[in-house]
Amino acid sequence: MDGTGSGVIIVFSGRTALNVDAKGRLAIPTRHRDALVRACGGRVVLTHHPYDNCLSLYPEQQWQDVARQVAGLSDAEPVVRYLKRRFLGQAVELEMDANGRYLVPGELRELVALEKRAMLVGQIHRFEIWSEAAWQAEQDQYGQMDLSAMPESVQKLAF
């Protein structure tokens, strides 16, 4: 069981370059499209990533689980209120069309400068959607990162 309540194991991995059409639609690759239809009938939630300059796309049940956790945080800290506004306040529910596409609202496209090209990046239980330029900048930055500064919890992993 994967937490979706459906018994379907969802594993979104890999990255795929996508075109964004003139209306702002993204066609999900068939391998992921089928998993989304099985897991959530193609119903997803798209929102601004809480830390990075990209969008996060969650199958409906995963979104509900994460949203409950975030909503349960205390509003006493200004940074938590900001997180809630950025992550919860900008979330939109989407349904896959008959051609396996999602229409990304203009305001979310503008937030992350998503224009003609995008990168769809699997994160096991969700996707990240990056503009092509932002993805390349992220990769360039990663290439210069001091990997010895990884948290101890990551350093203990056996890859």
Q: Is residue 69 part of a domain?
A: yes
Interaxial angle between packed helices 78-87 and 60-71, expressed in degrees from 0 to 180 and rounded to the nearest 10: 160
CATH of the domain at 147: 3.40.1550.20
Note the pLDDT tens digit of each residue in 96-153: 999 999 999 999 999 999 999 999 999 999 999 999 999 999 988 877 778 778 888 8
Residue 155 confidence (pLDDT): 79
Report yes or no on 6 lying in a domain: no
Residue 28 is assigned to a structural domain of this protein: yes
pLDDT tens across 106-122, in order? 999 999 999 999 999 99
Domain that holds residue 40: 15-155
Is there a domain that residue 63 lies in?
yes
- The pTM for the full model equals 0.87
Q: Structural domain tally of the chain?
A: 1
Q: Would you say residue 38 lies in a domain?
A: yes
Residue 1 falls inside a structural domain? no
